[in-house]
Amino acid sequence: MEIDKIFEKSIVISAHPDDEILWFSSILDKVDKVVICFLGIKSEPNRRVERQKSLSEYPFKKISCLDIDQSETFYGVNWENPVLTKYGIEISNKKYPDKTYKENYYKLKEQLETKLSGYHNVFTHNPWGEYGSDEHIQIYRVIKDLQKSLNFNLWFSNYVSNKSFKLMLSYISTNNLEYITFQTNKLLAADIKNLYQKNRCWTWYDDWEWCNEELFIKDKNIEEKNIKFGQTLPLNFIKIWHPIESKRIFNRLWSQICKILRYFKNI
User: Rounded mean pLDDT of the chain?
Assistant: 89
CA dihedral 76, 81, 86, 87 (to 10 degrees): 20
CATH of the domain at 152: 3.40.50
- Is there a domain that residue 110 lies in? yes
Per-residue pLDDT reduced to its tens digit, 56-88: 999 999 999 999 999 999 999 999 999 999 999
Q: Which domain holds residue 178?
A: 3-238
Give the number of other CB atoms < 10 A from CB of residue 259: 11
Considering just the CA atoms, what is the radius of gyration of the chain in Å? 19
Where would I find the H helices in the chain? 19-23, 45-56, 99-115, 134-150, 165-172, 186-198, 243-266
- Is there a domain that residue 254 lies in? no
* Mean pLDDT of all residues in 163-173: 86
What number of H helices and E strands is found in the chain?
7, 11
What is the C-alpha to C-alpha distance for residues 196 and 63, in angstroms, rounded to an integer? 15
CA dihedral 19, 23, 24, 25 (to 10 degrees): 90
Q: Please check the confidence at residue 161 and state whether its pLDDT lies above 50.
A: yes
- Is there a domain that residue 248 lies in? no
- The answer for 133, left when phi > 0, alpha when psi is -120 to 50, beta otherwise, is beta
Strand-strand pairing, 88-89 and 84-85: antiparallel
Q: Please check the confidence at residue 254 and state whether its pLDDT lies above 70.
A: no
- Is there a domain that residue 251 lies in? no
Q: Is 122 helix (H, G, I), strand (E, B) or coil?
A: strand
C-beta separation of 126 from 154 below 8 A:
no
Number of domains in the chain: 1
Give burial (CB, 10 Å; 0-12/13-18/19+) of 123.
buried
- Is there a domain that residue 256 lies in? no
71: closest CA among 30, 16, 120, 126?
16
C-beta separation of 68 from 139 below 8 A:
no
What is the C-alpha to C-alpha distance for residues 5 and 230, in angstroms, rounded to an integer? 29
- Is there a domain that residue 31 lies in? yes
Q: Please check the confidence at residue 10 and state whether its pLDDT lies above 90.
A: yes
- Is there a domain that residue 213 lies in? yes
- Is there a domain that residue 257 lies in? no
Per-residue pLDDT reduced to its tens digit, 97-150: 999 999 999 999 999 999 999 999 999 999 999 999 999 999 999 999 999 999
What is the C-alpha to C-alpha distance for residues 143 and 154, in angstroms, rounded to an integer? 8
129: Cβ contacts below 8 Å, ≥ 6 apart: 89, 135, 136, 137, 140, 164, 167
- The answer for 230, left when phi > 0, alpha when psi is -120 to 50, beta otherwise, is left
- The whole-number pLDDT of residue 183 equals 98
pLDDT higher for 267 or 149? 149
154: closest CA among 1, 18, 22?
1
